């Protein structure tokens, strides 16, 4: 399979725009001014984080029921095309 799917938490930034965190990649964050830009940045950030892992070491994607969504955040599925 050439596509990975991981959940991301989209947060509204107090200064405007949005920021994103990934429950399965605690070191992975990004931000953007619009929701569309933030989603594109989330795909890029996920790609960079995944590239630091070997295929054997990639964390298994969490189930939505296993993720605590902080107040004001939205859970979204981000896909990463490994062939791209």
Q: Sheet of 3-12: strands edge to edge?
A: 25-32, 18-22, 3-12, 74-81
- Can you give the C-alpha Rg of the chain in angstroms? 13
Give the pLDDT of residue 1: 60
Give the pLDDT of residue 37: 97
User: 8-29 pLDDT, tens per residue?
Assistant: 999 999 999 999 999 999 999 9
**Predicted TM-score (pTM) of this structure:** 0.91
User: 26-53 pLDDT, tens per residue?
Assistant: 999 999 999 999 999 999 999 999 999 8
Do 53 and 71 form a contact (C-beta atoms < 8 A)? Answer: no
What domains are there in the chain, each with its CATH number?
3-81 (3.30.160.250)
């Amino acid at each position: 399979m050439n596509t990975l799917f991981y959940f991301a938490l989209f947060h509204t930034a107090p200064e405007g725009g949005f920021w994103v965190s990934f429950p399965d990649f605690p070191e992975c964050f990004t931000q953007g001014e619009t929701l569309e830009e933030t989603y594109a940045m989330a795909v890029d950030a996920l790609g960079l984080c995944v590239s630091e892992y070997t295929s054997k070491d990639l964390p298994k994607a969490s189930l939505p029921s296993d993720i605590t969504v902080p107040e004001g955040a939205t859970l979204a599925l981000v896909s990463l095309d490994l062939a791209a």
